[in-house]
Amino acid sequence: MSALRNSRCTERNGDAAPAVAAPDLIPAPLSTGTTAGADPYELTPASTLAAGPGGEGAAAWLRRELGAATGLPLLPPAGDPGTAGLRIAVDAATGKELGPEGYRLTAGPEGAEVLAGGPAGAFWGAQTLRQLLGPDAYRRAPLPGRTWRLPAVRIEDRPRFGWRGMLLDVARHFMPKDGVLRYIDLLAAHKLNVLHLHLTDDQGWRVEIRRYPRLTEVGAWRPRSRWGHRASPLWNETPHGGFYTQDDIREIVAYAAERHVRVVPEIDVPGHSLAAIAAYPHLGNADVVDTAALEVWDDWGISPHVLAPTEDVLRFYEGVFEELLELFPAEVSPFVHIGGDECPKDEWRASPAAQARIRELGVAGEDGLQSWFIRHFDGWLAARGRRLIGWDEILEGGLAPGAAVSSWRGYAGGIAAAEAGHDVVMCPEQHVYLDYRQSGSPDEPMPIAYVRTLEDVYRFEPVPPGLSADAAAHVLGAQANVWTEVMADQGRVDYQVFPRLAAFAEVVWSALPAPADRDWPGFEARMTAHYARLDALGVGYRPPGGPLPWQRRPGVLGRPREGAPPEA
């Protein structure tokens, strides 16, 4: 076992802590140069770290992380800050040229300086500086005898997109708070700045709402879980659940904000709501189903049980969102995701109450009811200074001007939304669903859908060709989605997410050419250094050669699909 584990790690040479050449950075910077013949800067116990105006947060973070890894104090200089070995500051000229998330990093024999367009840029520059020190800079305690050198480089950098995100589904399988904090650090290490938390679904409700305690007393727990996909005959009979207290959420949001990561909460309406109905049966369509007998779903897929189209249901969810808005302040999380996808209409078709509601509202049938739900919360959130975002089904029936769309069923929804003047986050399942299998090998654990390799993700393009310039300006960016039906623990999440998230991070950060012209061999070579960083961080990624024995799940059925995924 140890031999297999060691085969993943980059070979070390003695007590050196090798610095990483600038071309090995991930994501790739906008421009990189080296100073020929210049000596590196060596960090010593006498090295100091100074923060100029706007750089205080990044400097505090860097001092903490590098202090743990190197054992060096990196204290502020006693005198002139300009004499510090390391310096981080916000610079107006840099901001004008590179924007608030841009930075310039210059390192030479006398030290290193990060000049940034804003506090976020200072933080991303500090992340690059850490990468340059080599993989051991990601450890939590110093290894004996290491020396620490920064190569002589000049880097100018800024992101391509403002929304660089990952959805983490904590509803299907709950991830404890410490795991979420860990993923925030992993996102930040890759210069990703949005964590979309999928907090509710048929299989669980994961956030405390104090006025509705049964949402977590009942809705956060299910009696068992299917082991594998829906075709699997296997069950894990251990009850599963968990939720975040309101203080947990406040901690998560604050922790993310310190790392310039925005947390976007998702509360699903009107579908994917069985956990809420199981807790409060009046939320369901009680005239056609015995809602008092419903339980939190133990299976995967889409439950047929959806919210009833009543004023009482609207008031209930307004209460949910009132508490949610307090937990996710507008200055750090202006968007609220309301789902809006995959809402079966069978109960509404059969329900006399729902049919009467259709006539009362004058909407176009059951599809009109779904649009009525979405438009209500669109206006409700806008009146409170927030922006609604939902899956591309929310386009059906029309949207208020401020609403944004997560385009998951291919590019089509995003194109339609952008051409109509709505902001869009591109997350087409055919390209960036990280629950999809990574190869066609039978060793892939619980294989889902189509093969999406590391190279496939590297060739993803968030702005589809043919989009007009005005519409392209509405593409806020992109996110990779991690749905956890078959990811019961951190190791399985790590395996599905990494290394593909590194490729995605480069796509949304770096100024890459068209997909066919991207330097895949060059990226693959840079991943050699990056695997060593992931090892130091303790990430259980999928090795290039395929899953290690303990990463496989032989005999547990998934749902593989053959061929290329169809575009939509």
SS3 for 302? coil
Dihedral of alpha carbons 85, 88, 92, 94, sign: positive
Round to whole Å and give the CA distance between 319 and 531: 45
Mean pLDDT of 469-474: 96
Query: How crowded is residue 421: how many other Cβ atoms within 10 Å of its Cβ?
Result: 11
Q: What percent of the chain has pLDDT over 90?
A: 91
Dihedral of the alpha carbons of 495, 449, 472, 399, in degrees to the nearest 10: -110
183-195 pLDDT, tens digit per residue, is 999 999 999 999 9
Q: How far apart are CA 17 and CA 19, in angstroms?
A: 6
Separation of alpha carbons 499 and 451, rounded Å: 15
For residues 498 and 531, give the distance between their C-alpha atoms in angstroms, rounded to a whole number: 10
The one-letter amino acid code at 78 reads A
Burial tier of 396 (Cβ tally within 10 Å: 0-12, 13-18, 19+): middle
**Poorest-pLDDT segment among 81-90, 169-178, 530-539:** 81-90
Q: CA-to-CA distance for 527 and 330, rounded, in angstroms?
A: 37
Burial class from Cβ neighbours inside 10 Å (0-12, 13-18, 19+) for residue 112 reads buried
Cα–Cα distance for residue pair 494/490, rounded to 1 Å: 6
**Of 212, 208, 266, residue with least CA distance to 241:** 208
End-to-end CA distance of the chain: 44
The kind and range of the H/E element at 527 are: helix 520-537
Instruction: Characterise 301 by phi-psi region: left (phi > 0), alpha (psi -120 to 50), beta (else).
Output: left
Q: Supply the pTM of this predicted model.
A: 0.96
- 461 pLDDT higher than 70: yes
Mean pLDDT of 198-220: 98
Question: What CATH homologous superfamily does 163-509+541-560 map to?
Answer: Glycosidases (3.20.20.80)
Token pair belonging to 328: 């996710």
> In the predicted model, what is the mean pLDDT of residues 541-566?
96
Q: Would you list the domain boundaries of the chain?
A: 2-157, 163-509+541-560
Q: Which residue numbers are catalytic?
A: 201, 272, 342
pLDDT surpasses 70 at 10:
no
CATH number of the structural domain 2-157: 3.30.379.10
Residue 54 pLDDT level (bands cut at 50, 70, 90): very high
The per-residue pLDDT for range 281-332, each reduced to its tens digit, is 999 999 999 999 999 999 999 999 999 999 999 999 999 999 999 999 999 9
pLDDT tens-place string over residues 334-388: 999 999 999 999 999 999 999 999 999 999 999 999 999 999 999 999 999 999 9
